Amino acid sequence: MTNTSAEAFAPATMANLGVGFDVLGLAFHEPGDVVRAELTDEPGVTIADIEGDGGQLTRDPEKNTAGIAAASTLKRLGVNQGVRLTIRKNLPLASGLGSSSASAVAAAVAVNALFGDTLSMKELLDPSLDGEAAVSGRHADNVAPCLFGGITLVTGVDANEIKMLPIPPSLHLALITPNVAVQTAVARAVLPQSIPLKTMVLQTAYMARLIDAIYRGDLSEMARAMEGDQVIEPARAHLMPLLYEMRQIAKSNGAFGLVISGAGPTLCAICNDEKIAQRVAQAMQAGYDAAGIESATRCTGISTSGAHVLRVN
């Protein structure tokens, strides 16, 4: 069955969860990107419009993550018809919220829906990764949770190498994004190429503590383990304005801990109550306001569904 148009949503994500660099990720309930795919007679992919990007993203479908993912999906479907995409960016660029992944995943899901959901969600992993690879490299720490939802352990780029972890039922998250762009390439360039054996052992221990805490639903221990990063945060801290001050503010207002979301500069506070998350977000924003730094806050939870079709016509 072929439809004339389809629209899909893909959520924001947080890679790493502090200590799990490139192997852990989670999907936020909101915000997220929306991609509309319309059937065209001409083969290939065109991008009709991009909303909400301030004119920063390329309309070239061979360079845009959504365009690349859409073309890859068409190839896997084996169809000769083309699609025209309209991308609605609800995620800030270079924010540490998986913006490029969300566009790629939403495009793959929308194009698949256009042609009757022929491919499974697992089969959409590869085309989504094709889109992400153009910007951030071929790794699934953002793509996997964006596509499948929840908290994911990513040990490779095949669907069978992605494991779903349990979601602690009382987990609430307070996000704050200072108005400072941190490009993924820049954030990766500052990372050390080698680390001492002692550091590796300690990092591994914190990672194990985090997985254990997630399975037990222990948010306090989960936050402590997330903050135990010995490698990535120390290298990137200078890119995040007032990181340590925000951590102290978050904890003083009831959060269990705070970590960098992905490559940053978004910061994510771990809370066990919605009202506490709101209080933490307001306090962090007041802290940035006092420093003369604009910021945006959001309180959210974990998306259990991940990317999904909004409508088809």
H helix runs in 115-264, sequence order: 125-136, 143-148, 184-189, 197-216, 219-226, 232-236, 243-252
Specify whether 110 is located in the same domain as 192.
Answer: no
Specify whether 149 is located in the same domain as 176.
Answer: no
Closest C-alpha to 102, from 166, 226, 12, 178: 12
Residue 280 lies in a domain: yes
The reply to whether the predicted model has a pTM over 0.75 is yes
Q: Report the half-sphere exposure of 101 (CA within 13 A, side-chain side).
A: 34
The answer, yes or no, to whether residue 1 has pLDDT greater than 70, is no
Specify whether 104 is located in the same domain as 180.
Answer: no
Specify whether 225 is located in the same domain as 126.
Answer: no
Specify whether 94 is located in the same domain as 152.
Answer: yes
Specify whether 67 is located in the same domain as 176.
Answer: no
Average pLDDT over residues 128-153: 93
Specify whether 155 is located in the same domain as 276.
Answer: no
Number of domains in the chain: 2
Specify whether 231 is located in the same domain as 161.
Answer: no
Catalytic residue among 13, 38, 86, 132: 132
Domain final residue pick, 165, 191, 225: 165
Domain final residue pick, 149, 165, 181: 165
Q: What is the pLDDT of residues 203-215, one digit of tens each?
A: 999 999 999 999 9
Query: Is the separation of the CB atoms in 246 and 286 below 8 Å?
Result: no
Beta bridge partners of 302: 28
Query: Is the separation of the CB atoms in 250 and 223 below 8 Å?
Result: no
Task: Residue 97: give the domain boundaries.
Answer: 5-165
Q: What is the pLDDT of residues 222-276, one digit of tens each?
A: 999 999 999 999 999 999 999 999 999 999 999 999 999 999 999 999 999 999 9
Residue 228 lies in a domain: yes
Specify whether 160 is located in the same domain as 12.
Answer: yes
Exposed/middle/buried for residue 249 (C-beta within 10 Å: 0-12, 13-18, 19+): buried
**Which CATH number is 220's domain given?**
3.30.70.890
Matching residue, tokens 């506070």: 269
**What tokens does 40 get?**
């065209």
132 included as an active-site residue: yes
On average, the pLDDT of the chain sits at: 95
The answer, yes or no, to whether residue 194 has pLDDT greater than 80, is yes
Query: Is the separation of the CB atoms in 128 and 104 below 8 Å?
Result: yes
More confident residue, 119 or 92: 119
Residue 310 lies in a domain: no
Beta bridge partners of 199: none
Residue 307 lies in a domain: no
Residue 313 lies in a domain: no
Separation between Cα atoms, residue 100 and residue 305, nearest integer Å = 19
Specify whether 125 is located in the same domain as 260.
Answer: no
Catalytic residue among 152, 184, 266, 297: 184
Residue 189 lies in a domain: yes
Calculated CA dihedral for residues 38, 44, 50, 53, nearest 10 degrees:
140
pLDDT of 185: 81
The answer, yes or no, to whether residue 2 has pLDDT greater than 70, is yes
Beta strand spans in the chain (E): 5-15, 24-40, 45-51, 82-88, 151-154, 162-165, 172-178, 257-260, 267-271, 295-300, 308-312
SS3 content of the chain, % helix, strand, coil (to 5): 40, 25, 35
Closest C-alpha to 175, from 90, 261, 253, 245: 261
CA 279 to chain centre: 24
Specify whether 119 is located in the same domain as 184.
Answer: no
Residue 309 lies in a domain: no
Give residue 200's pLDDT band: very low, low, confident or very high (50, 70, 90). Answer: very high
Domain final residue pick, 97, 131, 165: 165
Residue 306 lies in a domain: no
Closest C-alpha to 206, from 186, 171, 246, 233: 233
Specify whether 26 is located in the same domain as 75.
Answer: yes
**Which CATH number is 132's domain given?**
3.30.230.10
